[in-house]
Structure 1
Amino acid sequence: MRMEFDLKLQQTQKLIMTPELKQAIEILQLNSLELNALIEQELETNPLLEKEEVIEEDIYESNDFTELAKYIRETEERMYYDDSDDEEIEEVNYENFVSTKPSLTDHLLFQLHITPVSPKIQKICEYIIFSLSPSGYLREDIKDIAEILECTEEEVLEGLSIVQSFDPPGIAARNLQECLKLQLLAQDSYKGIVKELVDYHLEEIAEGKYSYLAKLYNISLKEVQQAVDFIKKLNPKPGSSFSSTADVRYIVPDVEVIKREGEYFVIVNDSVTPKLKINNYYHSILNSHDEEAKKYINSKLQSAMWLIKSLESRKETLYKVVKAIVELQRDFLDKGINYLKPMTQKQIADIVGIHESTVSRAINGKYVATPRGLFELKFFFQSGISNKNGNEFSAETIKNLIKKLIEEEDPTNPLSDQKIADILKEKNINISRRTVAKYREECNIPSTIKRRRY
């Protein structure tokens, strides 16, 4: 067999992911806040990019006479009530006068500082307070604390008992059982069947084994349920009421849908992202004779132009996708959750004329503000079923119907999953008992046994 080398020319097609295309795909996936962070980063690294200043329209040049009349009326009122025309009116921000709520640590330290204890025990108490979780539990082991503070375990337990005597009741507990016990002691209710249930039967309570508990203690089911109801009124997370307002995370909608005269309009929210333009000074350097500078500026110019183009493409794609969603889900926007239709990403892709993966990227992590409330865009893509009449029901619509049926049921004789399936079948919604159980669990609704009242 003879071996030889030869050279052949073959033409093939390959999809190459260029850096520009990769950047455009990444930009499409970002929500408003993430996009704003990316733009700020690009502004720092690319000298050719700069923010476009938005010039507010002068109210005297506006054709909106209603706004002009309002402005004149407010001006006249200020002139009439003010003693001096020359005195500038300082705007008052009322948030400056709102007192901040003390944190859990501050609340406990205040109580510690007015409690007469020795310096050593005070140091142990302070360590325990700073070691508490946001829910108010002590997760560290007593032995570890004693080793860190170089003291005995008895001294740590003494400090722990002092902290546990503070408000709110149940604070610094090491587990749920101890937390409930501390609250019951504070109410002088740690006795009788309530004491037995908290000490030995929290798992049975969670599983709804009321009949077993009634037989075990030779009492009626009603007495067991009353004791359980009393326990459920206790706070399993005593530190949660001191959550700081700084921990609140606000959602900035990427798109807004407004209704005007019976029609829905889609507005892409670009108020949080600055508008970009090319810096004219650096652009003029391209006409210079410095080849190295021209090469650098040219590369940055291409990068800047592609970023601006990608931002406009993102805005256009997002607008088209949401507009298609609004058209398909108009009944939901007009009438409510019971009219939410099943919808797939392929349906939107076919309407807009883009690939299904592009729709997936466009809706990823983005929210829309509608007259019905604020929703994640993924919320509108629901699975569902259709009946014999051709009517379609989304999973969210069926869940809402199940919730309504359970809210209206007789507590002494709650509906079983099979009974709910039969009721829905009468409404031409054919789903199995397993599907009812699945939707019920997704709505965090307990089973029939746990819902029953005696």
Structure 2
Amino acid sequence: MKMNMNLNMVQTQKLVMTAELKQAIEILQYNSVELKEFIQEELMTNPVLQLQSQDEGSQAAAVSAPEVPEEPIKPQSESSTNDLDNINWKEVSQGMSRERGSAVAVESRDDEFSYESFLPTKESLYDHLAFQLCMSDLKGLDYQVAQFLIENIDKNGYLDLRTEEVLSKFQITEDNYERILSVIQTFDPLGVGARNLAECLKIQLMAGDDALSKLAAGIIEHHLQDLANNRIQNIAKALGAPLEQIQDACDLVKTLEPKPGRAFSVDDETRYVVPDVVITKNEGEYVILVSDSTAPKLYINDFYRRILESEQQSAASEYISKKLSSAMKLIKSIEQRRNTIYKVVEAIVEVQLEFFERGPMYLKTLTLKDIAERVGVHESTVSRAVSGKYLQCPHGIYEIKFFFQSGVSSEMGESVSSESIKKIIKELVDREDPKKPFSDQHLMEELNQIGIMISRRTVAKYRDELFIPSSSKRKRF
């Protein structure tokens, strides 16, 4: 068998991720706050870029990139040329200066309003407990043991430590350990320092010395699983108490905090949302504004234009040309982001017009594919354009993803969004007789009667998403 080696040339086309395309995709995904941070970083590294201040807004407009094509981001082929590389930056800069005017760099303003400056520093659970320990009567070794215990209380307020470890470390008796721990368990928030859920709830009940609190403590001690499953009759039978009394005790337990430390959790801090898009109604028509409040427009510093004119072939000229190219690509990507978000939101408003006119009950089913076809882009572009971004309208502030709803068909063939169905389910549950709560089957039948064809399994799914317990757990006695 004879083997030959040949050299063949094959011409193919393939998609490549250029640096410009990669930057455009990244910028499209940023929300307004992230975009502001990104722009600040670019301003630090590219002296050619200029940020327009409020005072300059009336004197000099922001320079936009060369004409941005109507189509949002599309991949480029390997054989395609990059027009930006062939731009005569000297002419571009001169044109910018003539049309837009020059301006002085503004990196920050002393009088710029910042909501963040009004946010208080949140006290940690450890700091809160350590302060109370300082105010306690514990001294010497007892104080050291208590401090060690506090250091091992987790974010939910539970003691994450084995008893044997404490006894061995400090060479103390179990009685002394329990005595010191009992002091910590009197600290605020009540229930802190518990070793399990039952102990946590019982500590909170110790604040009340009435008969109902004692009954509730007994239920926690011996019938916690029955309580979790709302088996009130089993508890009443075991304790030989009236159903009404057991129901009241169980209601009291449900008011207790199973995770006393979460009030201090950093994860649960209030989130402040800055809308990326604002929609207002003016003379019967909806006006869409892609917010620039947190990401002001950029333009080119006129100072570097003059350097480019005077230094024709110097190293400075080459450096400035590169920075000009980078700046123009950035400005183009930001403008492209604005255009893409505008078109996507415009399409959403067209589809969800009844929502904006009448409210959340009138949301329609909508997919990324639907909007992509309307705008003429890929689904992934729509996904990036709405990811992590918020919209403000007369009904409130919503995550833009909220407007993309799955759903079912009505008897008339119209689509009904999952959000609308959930609202109906919640209204039905709110109106039910607590002693005879609606089963999922009954909820399904109620929905079918108003023309919403839905299965019992889907009803159960939506009920779970609303954090509504099953009918057996909602029943009251």
TM-score, normalised by the number of residues in structure 1: 0.83
1:253 matches 2:236: no
What code does the residue aligned with 1:330 have?
Answer: L
1:215 matches 2:215: no
What SS does structure 2 have at the residue aligned with 1:326?
A: helix
Larger RCO: 1 or 2 (CA < 8 Å, sep 6+): 2
What SS does structure 2 have at the residue aligned with 1:132?
A: coil
Cα drift, residue 370 of structure 1: 1.3
Cα drift, residue 21 of structure 1: 0.3
1:423 matches 2:446: yes
Write out per-residue CA displacement over residues 34-91 of structure 1, whole angstroms, 9 at most, x where no aligned residue.
2122112212222222212232778xxxxxxxxxxxxxxxxxxxxxxxxxxxxxxxxx
CA contact (8 A) 1:142 1:157 kept: no
1:409 matches 2:432: yes
CA distance in 2, matches of 1:3, 1:383: 60
What SS does structure 1 have at the residue aligned with 2:335?
A: helix
CA contact (8 A) 1:205 1:228 kept: yes
What SS does structure 2 have at the residue aligned with 1:361?
A: helix
What does 1:124-139 correspond to in 2, within 5 Å? 124-139=145-160
Ranges in structure 1 where 5+ consecutive residues have no aligned partner: 59-92
Ranges in structure 2 where 5+ consecutive residues have no aligned partner: 59-113
CA contact (8 A) 1:36 1:273 kept: yes
Mark the CA change 1:142 to 1:42 in structure 2 (over 3 Å): closer, same or farther. Answer: farther
What code does the residue aligned with 1:250 have?
Answer: Y
Cα drift, residue 150 of structure 1: 6.8
| 2:458 aligned residue | 435
Mark the CA change 1:387 to 1:291 in structure 2 (over 3 Å): closer, same or farther. Answer: same
Aligned residues: 419
1:159 matches 2:180: yes
| 2:14 aligned residue | 14
What code does the residue aligned with 1:227 have?
Answer: A
Q: State which of 109, 117, 129 in structure 1 corresponds to 2:138.
A: 117
Mark the CA change 1:220 to 1:428 in structure 2 (over 3 Å): closer, same or farther. Answer: same
Cα drift, residue 351 of structure 1: 1.6
1:27 matches 2:27: yes
Mark the CA change 1:49 to 1:153 in structure 2 (over 3 Å): closer, same or farther. Answer: farther
1:45 matches 2:45: yes
CA distance in 1, matches of 2:170, 2:279: 59
CA distance in 1, matches of 2:23, 2:118: 45
Mark the CA change 1:118 to 1:9 in structure 2 (over 3 Å): closer, same or farther. Answer: closer
CA distance in 1, matches of 2:411, 2:335: 44
Mark the CA change 1:136 to 1:217 in structure 2 (over 3 Å): closer, same or farther. Answer: same
What does 1:260-279 correspond to in 2, within 5 Å? 260-279=282-301
CA contact (8 A) 2:49 2:301 kept: yes
Write out per-residue CA displacement over residues 192-247 of structure 1, whole angstroms, 9 at most, x where no aligned residue.
54233211322221122223333333444333322211211222233445568993
What SS does structure 2 have at the residue aligned with 1:212?
A: helix
What SS does structure 2 have at the residue aligned with 1:256?
A: strand
CA contact (8 A) 2:368 2:404 kept: yes
Mark the CA change 1:148 to 1:366 in structure 2 (over 3 Å): closer, same or farther. Answer: farther
| 1:180 aligned residue | 201
CA distance in 1, matches of 2:119, 2:12: 69
What SS does structure 1 have at the residue aligned with 2:260?
A: coil
CA contact (8 A) 2:236 2:246 kept: yes
Mark the CA change 1:293 to 1:5 in structure 2 (over 3 Å): closer, same or farther. Answer: farther
1:226 matches 2:285: no
Q: How large is the Cα RMSD of the aligned pairs?
A: 3.0
| 2:220 aligned residue | 198
Pick which of 148-157 and 11-20 moved more: 148-157
CA distance in 1, matches of 2:377, 2:15: 17
What code does the residue aligned with 1:17 have?
Answer: M
Cα drift, residue 143 of structure 1: 3.7
Cα drift, residue 299 of structure 1: 2.3
Write out per-residue CA displacement over residues 269-321 of structure 1, whole angstroms, 9 at most, x where no aligned residue.
11111322222333444342444433333222211111110000000100111
1:378 matches 2:401: yes
What does 1:226-245 correspond to in 2, within 5 Å? 226-241=248-263
What code does the residue aligned with 2:150 have?
Answer: I
CA contact (8 A) 1:180 1:198 kept: yes
Percentage of identical aligned residues: 47
Mark the CA change 1:258 to 1:340 in structure 2 (over 3 Å): closer, same or farther. Answer: same
| 2:63 aligned residue | none
Mark the CA change 1:99 to 1:18 in structure 2 (over 3 Å): closer, same or farther. Answer: closer
Pick which of 305-314 and 177-186 moved more: 177-186
CA distance in 2, matches of 1:438, 1:298: 58
| 1:450 aligned residue | 473
Mark the CA change 1:282 to 1:141 in structure 2 (over 3 Å): closer, same or farther. Answer: farther
